Amino acid sequence: MKITDLELEQYGIYQNESWKPAAGCLNVIMGENESGKTTLLRFIRDMMFGYERGKWQGKKGNMGFLRADGSAYRIYRDGKNKWAVNDKGEEFNDELSSLWWHGLNRGIYEKIFAVGLEDLQGTSFLADDSVRSRFFMLQGGDLVSGAMKQADEEMEKLLVSSSQGKRRINQLLMTLAEVQEALEHLSGQEKDFSILQKKQALLKKEIDKMKISLAADQEMDKQLEKRLGAWEYYKRAREIKRQLQLSEQVKLFPSNGKEQWGHLVSRMKLIREQQEVLQPKIDEYRPRAKEEIIPWTGMEQELEGLYVDLGQWKQIAAEEEELKRTKADWARSFVNLGYALPLWDRALSLKDACADVDWKQGRDLAQSAGVRNNELHFWQQREPEVEMLEKEMIQGGTLLSSEEAWRKYEADASKIEALLNEEAALTEKTDALSAQKDTRYTFWFWLGATALIAAVVFVIMFYMSLMGYTVLYGAVGASVLAAACFAINNHVFRRKENQIRELEAQIDEIKKEWHEVASRFPDHVPEDKKDLPAFHNMLQAKRSDFYGMQAKQQAFAWKRETVKKQQSAHKDWAEEGKLLKEAQAAVLDEWYKWLEANKLPKVLPEKVSELQEQWNKIYAEEGRGKIIDVRIDGAQEKLAGFAKRAGSIIRAAGMSCPITPESIAYIYEENKKRNLEWRSISEKNRQHDEYEREMNKLKSDWASCEREMNALFCLVNAVNAEDFAEKVNAHENHDRLLKDWENVRHDIRLYAGGEEEFNRLWATLESGRYDEWMAEHQKLAEKIAKEEQELGDLQRQQGAAENEIFRLAGDDTITKTLQKKKELETEIGQTMEDWLTALFIRSLMGKTQKRYDSGKQPKIIKMANRFLGRMTKEKYSLIVNDDGKDVSIIDEFYRKKESKVWSSGTGDQVYLAIRLAMALSFGEQMETLPIVLDDIFVRFDEERQKETLRFLMELGKEQQIFLFTCHERTMKLAEEAGREENTGEFIQLRNGCISKRI
């Protein structure tokens, strides 16, 4: 179907406007916003499928079109009225979709034939059963889809796969579960009643036991609280008692004791201040020995002597370097000498010395080998003649005289044919790959180049001290990234080459196997598929001649006997030759063993003289190298003596410098500087000794004061100054302490409540176990709180058990619950039978649809692949899975890309190709319908727009296509493509007017 004329009599902003679209080229319609573009789109759909419900008022128009068979029609729509007239003047009122398109509705048309920007991101339309039934199954597909939909609705009414479902079966199952749970609960009531009685008795026993334990713990805690309360009074009494004891220890104490003590403290304070002033002067300088300044003290004479011999040391070192260079030149010359000798023709080894060679033995072995060669030559001249009976039998067909030989012959022929067919298939694949375009520089190459430039920049920044080691790490990371990217680029670039190499390897394997079969095949072997017809004719001739050749074998019987005699004579000759060859091999084996033992190259025995001459050259050159080694050893021995003398000096100096003449010269100059430095340090050492003598005198005065202070300590039996002060104070306050002692004991007696309790409490406090009492008190407090809580829990459990026992005494609902369970099971069985029937119908219709799908989808995908290649210059190919929900593409480097990594423009091209393929497939099967594309180039770059427009221009020659756009640039690109293809119709919309662009 192709639209030939549109008459918009009354339709939106269009009033009595007409347009005759082109039927054989792409129609490009450009209109700005509010120009009537969307209205014109809707008019085309309304003419084909009728006005939408409730939107027919005030609309009138008609459309002319041609069908594929050439017949012309015009459809009229005026409000609710519609009619159609053909070119014969016949009028009918049926809808076009029911007449020719098997019920294709407006919705499916808009999903496939009418494509907008929002329709080009996804393939959900392929998974829609209504779409699949129309385009993959076509005739009758709507009935299958409708049956599946009806079955799904029936199943959904009865059951949904959710624990929160509200369908009939879901509700029945939930009710049955509740009834079953109630039955399980009711069946255990009798057992629960017995358990509750036992539990009640047990709880009463535990409560009584808990009360006794709680009372005992509370009494014990009360005793502990009394002890802890009296502890503070006891500590004070103990301190007063201690001070009284200290006072009693002071028997004789001088009246001026305190004045003596103050004088001593003042003297010691003055001494301490003088020490604090003097000590920093001592600490700020440490005396140094001469060995610290001049580590090589005692070796000055040896240093002076070695300094005098520095010139001789340098001269010998220079001679050694010259000898080593001479030795290196000799080594290169010696190694390359082997290439100059024809029999060696390899590099000589410096490690393998020339061994003494017994050349007389070598010449004897060479002479023996010559004799054996002559004997073998004369033996070959005496070979007896044997007629070629086997060859005559093959030429006459005697090799195919048995059934087994014939079967083997036929098997080889079949294998040759199979190998040729396989080789031809692989060759076609190889040619197809070779024809594809190579791209050397991929994304990975440019990413690697960028990373390499970054690494160079980082290194430059590091060496210019612009940044620290961070940029150096960045340079290493960028280098690694660059190497990885170049490796990936190389892998991607060589993927096609590797595939071709694999195919060629398979072809070589087939050829190898072909040659193997051909080598044992007695007749002419075809080299390619073109020779197979002649090969088949030859096989047929062989098959015809096979049985005729059976009779001819008798004719060869007499000749076979003659050949046997000849073969016997030939066998004796061969045995003789075997012995001669073994003798020759033994001589050659001795010859080669002699060569190997003397480390000589493997040559023929007749070249023994030449071998000896070349060996003499090697031996002479090796002697020259040994002379150089002797001279080098002499120089190294002298240098070792100098190094030993220098090493002892450097070790004494404690330096880490190398053992060289320059190091000795440096130490000699350093020795002069450090002698001057030692003169200054010796003066500082003398001053430090004066400070230490003064410090020792202060320490002596301090010791004298300590002796006088210890004498005062002895008078009061004090250990230290604190003890002295405490005892003196106690002695002076003795009367007050006695009064405080009596007051404290009186307070504790009042706290205890009686004399007997006081004595018992005082004895307990004297044990001094306060920490133990406090810990025990805390544990008892925690235990009492826990026991009170447990007692409350047990009492609550006892009350709950008594209430449950009372409730269970008269419950009789189990009979009603069992009856309700039976009714529910019956109703569930009936409802599940209806659900399973709908499930069977759904499964059967699904298999029917899948069977029809499998025949249609590959053709559509193949067509979509072709369209995508045209739009992308063969850059991408298309892959769609069976259910149509997963679409992937393969790029020119055979990399698979999922839809989630596509660009928006690539995705639009892929889905546009699929839509166009489905539309054209429908046209091939039933009826060609116009394709309407509305602003599909929004996410296309300019290059994509050009290629897609060229493709649409070419496709528009066969299929009527309307391309709507609101972008002036797109229209200009379309006009350029139209001029290149010499096709296209270009229309401009302005405020309800339709006109051609000039």
Write out pLDDT tens, residues 857-901. Answer: 567 888 888 888 888 888 888 887 765 567 888 887 778 888 888
**Is a pLDDT exceeding 80 seen at residue 658?**
yes
Q: ∠ CA 913-918-922 to the nearest 5 degrees?
A: 145
Antiparallel, parallel or unpaired: β 877-880 and 887-890: antiparallel
DSSP string, 372-426: HHHHHHHHHHTPPP---HHHHHHHHTGGG-SHHHHHHHHHHHHHHHHHHHHHHHH
SS (H, E, C) 839-854: HHHHHHHHHHHHHHHH
Residue 136: the pLDDT is 46
Assess contact for 243 and 737: CB atoms under 8 A: yes
Residue 671: the pLDDT is 75
CA–CA gap between residue 801 and residue 67 (Å, rounded): 90
Three-state secondary-structure class, residue 138: coil
The amino acid present at 975, given as its one-letter code, is: E
Antiparallel, parallel or unpaired: β 961-965 and 27-31: parallel
617 DSSP assignment? H
- Range 9-35 average pLDDT: 89
Residue 129: the pLDDT is 53
The amino acid present at 867, given as its one-letter code, is: F
Q: How confident is the model at residue 182 (pLDDT cuts 50, 70, 90)?
A: confident
Assess contact for 65 and 4: CB atoms under 8 A: yes
Q: 683 versus 821: which is more confidently predicted?
A: 683
Tokens standing for 182?
């109630």
Residue 806: the pLDDT is 63
Provide φ and ψ at 65, rounded to 5°.
Answer: -155, 160
**Is a pLDDT exceeding 60 seen at residue 855?**
no
Residue 21: the pLDDT is 92
796 and 739 inside one domain: yes
Query: Does the residue 907 lie in any domain?
Result: no
Q: 3 versus 364: which is more confidently predicted?
A: 3
Q: How confident is the model at residue 137 (pLDDT cuts 50, 70, 90)?
A: very low
Query: Does the residue 669 lie in any domain?
Result: yes
CA–CA gap between residue 791 and residue 779 (Å, rounded): 18
**Is a pLDDT exceeding 80 seen at residue 75?**
yes
Element (H, E) at 141: helix 141-158
Percentage helix, strand, coil for the chain under 3-state DSSP, each rounded to 5: 70, 10, 20
Write out pLDDT tens, residues 516-553. Answer: 878 887 877 787 777 777 777 777 777 777 656 655 65
**Is a pLDDT exceeding 90 seen at residue 64?**
yes
Query: Does the residue 660 lie in any domain?
Result: yes
Assess contact for 95 and 885: CB atoms under 8 A: no
Give me the residues paired with residue 5 across strands.
Answer: 64
Tokens standing for 862?
């193949």
CA–CA gap between residue 397 and residue 556 (Å, rounded): 12
E-state strands within 51-121: 60-66, 72-78, 81-86, 91-92, 114-116
Assess contact for 867 and 913: CB atoms under 8 A: yes
Q: What are the counts of helices (DSSP H) followed by strands (DSSP E) for the chain? A: 30, 15
Q: Which of 838, 915, 841, 852 shows the shortest CA–CA distance to 133?
A: 852
Query: Does the residue 639 lie in any domain?
Result: yes
Assess contact for 611 and 343: CB atoms under 8 A: yes
Residue 961: the pLDDT is 93
Residue 394: the pLDDT is 43
DSSP string, 910-978: HHHHHHHHHHHHHHHHT----EEEESTTTT--HHHHHHHHHHHHHHTTTS-EEEEE--HHHHHHHHHHH
801 and 750 inside one domain: yes
Query: Does the residue 183 lie in any domain?
Result: no
- Range 70-83 average pLDDT: 89
CA–CA gap between residue 688 and residue 681 (Å, rounded): 11
CA–CA gap between residue 996 and residue 998 (Å, rounded): 6
Residue for token pair 């005082």: 762
Rounded to 10°, the helix 469-493/495-520 angle is 40
Residue for token pair 């090589």: 296
**Is a pLDDT exceeding 60 seen at residue 253?**
no
Give me the residues paired with residue 932 across strands.
Answer: 114, 962
Q: 973 versus 181: which is more confidently predicted?
A: 973
Choose the final residue of a domain: 777, 808, 839.
808
665 and 648 inside one domain: no
Q: How confident is the model at residue 85 (pLDDT cuts 50, 70, 90)?
A: very high
Greatest extent of the chain over all pairs of C-alpha atoms, in Å: 164
Antiparallel, parallel or unpaired: β 985-990 and 961-965: unpaired
- CA dihedral 232→236→239→243, nearest 10 degrees, is 180
CA–CA gap between residue 513 and residue 416 (Å, rounded): 9
Residue 29: the pLDDT is 92
Residue 733: the pLDDT is 59
CA distances to 211, 219, 783 from 216, in Å: 9, 5, 11
- Cβ burial, residue 699 (10 Å; 0-12/13-18/19+): exposed
225 and 207 inside one domain: yes
CA distances to 130, 198, 856, 931 from 127, in Å: 9, 67, 14, 21
229 and 204 inside one domain: yes
Residue 370: the pLDDT is 82
Residue 395: the pLDDT is 46
Write out pLDDT tens, residues 90-112. Answer: 888 888 877 777 667 777 777 77
625 and 659 inside one domain: no
205 and 238 inside one domain: yes
Residue 138: the pLDDT is 43
- Range 179-194 average pLDDT: 67
CA dihedral over 99, 104, 106, 111, signed as positive or negative: negative
- Range 205-218 average pLDDT: 80
**Is a pLDDT exceeding 70 seen at residue 249?**
no
Q: Which domain holds residue 621?
A: 305-348+602-653
Query: Does the residue 814 lie in any domain?
Result: no
E-state strands within 261-339: none
**Is a pLDDT exceeding 70 seen at residue 220?**
yes
Assess contact for 250 and 728: CB atoms under 8 A: yes
Residue 723: the pLDDT is 64
Highest mean pLDDT, choosing among 557-566, 579-588, 778-787, 968-977: 968-977
Highest mean pLDDT, choosing among 271-275, 724-728, 973-977: 973-977
How many domains does one find in the chain? 3
DSSP string, 530-571: GGHHHHHHHHHHHHHHHGGGGGGGGGGHHHHHHHHHHHHHHH
Choose the final residue of a domain: 616, 636, 653.
653
**Is a pLDDT exceeding 60 seen at residue 424?**
yes
Sheet holding 887-890, edge to edge: 877-880, 887-890, 896-898
637 and 683 inside one domain: no
Tokens standing for 989?
């919309």
**Is a pLDDT exceeding 80 seen at residue 146?**
no
Write out pLDDT tens, residues 548-578. Answer: 665 565 556 567 777 787 788 788 888 888 8
Tokens standing for 883?
């259910």
The amino acid present at 355, given as its one-letter code, is: A
Three-state secondary-structure class, residue 529: helix
Q: How confident is the model at residue 60 (pLDDT cuts 50, 70, 90)?
A: very high
Rounded to the nearest integer, the mean pLDDT of the chain is: 77
Choose the final residue of a domain: 787, 808, 829.
808
Q: How confident is the model at residue 337 (pLDDT cuts 50, 70, 90)?
A: confident
DSSP string, 788-816: HHHHHHHHHHHHHHHHHHHHHTT---HHH
**Is a pLDDT exceeding 50 seen at residue 259?**
yes
737 and 802 inside one domain: yes
677 and 695 inside one domain: yes
- CA dihedral 939→943→944→946, nearest 10 degrees, is 110
Query: Does the residue 330 lie in any domain?
Result: yes
CA dihedral over 534, 540, 542, 548, signed as positive or negative: negative
Assess contact for 553 and 398: CB atoms under 8 A: yes
**Is a pLDDT exceeding 80 seen at residue 470?**
no
Highest mean pLDDT, choosing among 1-10, 33-42, 823-832: 1-10
Q: 435 versus 52: which is more confidently predicted?
A: 52
Residue 644: the pLDDT is 82
737 and 796 inside one domain: yes
102 DSSP assignment? T
214 and 245 inside one domain: yes
Residue 139: the pLDDT is 41
Q: Which of 35, 43, 49 shows the shortest CA–CA distance to 18?
A: 43
Tokens standing for 156?
């959904």
Query: Does the residue 917 lie in any domain?
Result: no
